[in-house]
Structure 1
Amino acid sequence: MAKVIPGRQMAQIEGPFVVFIIGARINKWYAVHKWLPVLRSMGPMLQELYTNKELGFLDASFFMTGRGVSIVQYWRSYDQLEHYARGKANHLTAWKNFNRKARSGEAVGIYHETYMVENGAYESIYVNMPPTGMGRAGSLNPVGSGRESSRERAGLGGAGQGEPSPDLPTS
């Protein structure tokens, strides 16, 4: 289990990066032969990514829903994400299998969203948390002066509109 870092931290990732969200939704529970292979295909791909950091993969977090799973991935660049999606054996095999099997019915759905994040165009806060999300993909640093509010951490200036910052009190 990851060690909790006491106090307020914020994530830092140098340069632009990509947030890629991918998920599968089980639409027909009884069609296990359709959705189970889709869910199982993520393990080998993620193992390959964690083993080969030169591919541009930074980290991933898993989220279970009532009907499936979503994975938030962090990548160094869109080009590296696309290169992996189109060129690596584990992904191509899973993609081909999904297209061949799952598209023949509605038993399982799959989605993805891709966000290109410019250098410094993000904000985060972690209070009494282990490294999580962007804080695990990049680095965690204590919240310092001038970074107390979400607006300040996002590089947008003070609390804005004359309103006080609703952020958590300092530790």
Structure 2
Amino acid sequence: MITKGRVTATLDGDFVVFMIGFRLNKIWAIHKWLPVFLAMPKMLKELNSNKDLGYLHHEIWFGRTLILVQYWRSKEKLLAYAKNKDAQHLPAWKAFNQSIGSEGSVGIWHETYQATRGTYENIYVNMPSFGLGKAGKLQFVGKGQNNAQQRFEKNE
């Protein structure tokens, strides 16, 4: 459903934006990249089924470089999941290192950003609920929220 007009999103407290993905360096090496590709849906299913892990939401884009943007409650929750021996992540990471490592047919990347009050802003115009708008709460843009500077200040 598209929300007509201008809305902005907030999320109570600090949160983490975690961007992760992979790049097909050798597209024809399907036997190398397919297991990497198939590992992510298992992790997302696990994360979606247990909100205590601190995972909030994700958006995903497909292409030669796959990009997955995740929203987490805290860096501590994100790191705990990454190290959890009973979760899907560690076996997938181990398999990647054993089968690909520095061989080069598939690239893996991630970036992590911690957001606190006053360090983020956003605007959505005529959009369905998306990104931080799905992880947090959407509200129509009101007085004093018309530009990025004002939205930064409102979040302080």
1:7 equivalent in structure 2: 5
After TM superposition, list the pairs within 5 Å mapping 1:1-171 onto structure 2.
3-65=1-63, 67-87=64-84, 88-103=86-101, 105-155=103-153
- Once the two structures are TM-superposed, the CA of residue 154 in structure 1 deviates from its matched residue by 1.1
Distance 1:68 1:40 in 2: 15
For residues 58-84 of structure 1, the C-alpha deviation after alignment (integer angstroms, 9 at most, x for no partner) is 00000123x131100000000000000
SS in 1 for 2:153: coil
TM-score by length of 1: 0.86
SS in 1 for 2:58: strand
Q: Is contact 1:15–1:120 with CA below 8 Å preserved after alignment?
A: no
Kindly tell me the number of residue pairs found equivalent between the two proteins: 153
Provide the C-alpha distance between the structure 1 equivalents of 2:99 and 2:7, rounded to a whole number of angstroms.
44
Question: Which secondary structure does the structure 2 equivalent of 1:11 belong to?
Answer: strand
Structure 1 residue ranges without an equivalent (≥5) = 157-171
Report % sequence identity.
48
Residue 30 (structure 1) shift? 1.8
Measure how far apart 1:104 and its partner are.
Answer: 5.0
Q: Which runs of 5+ in 2 are unaligned?
A: none
CA distance change for structure 1 residues 124 and 12 in 2, over 3 Å: closer, same or farther? same
TM-superposition CA deviations, 1:4-63 (whole Å, max 9, x none): 111110011011100000010000112111111001100000011011011000000001
- Which stretches of structure 1, 4 residues or longer, exceed 3 Å deviation after superposition? none
User: Which residue matches 1:161?
Assistant: none
Determine the C-alpha separation between the residues in 1 that align with 2:76 and 2:87: 17
Which has the higher Rg, Structure 1 or Structure 2? 1
- Relative to the length of structure 2, the TM-score reads 0.94
State the distance in 1 between where 2:2 and 2:102 align: 46
RMSD in angstroms over aligned alpha carbons? 1.1
Q: Which amino acid aligns with 1:57?
A: Y
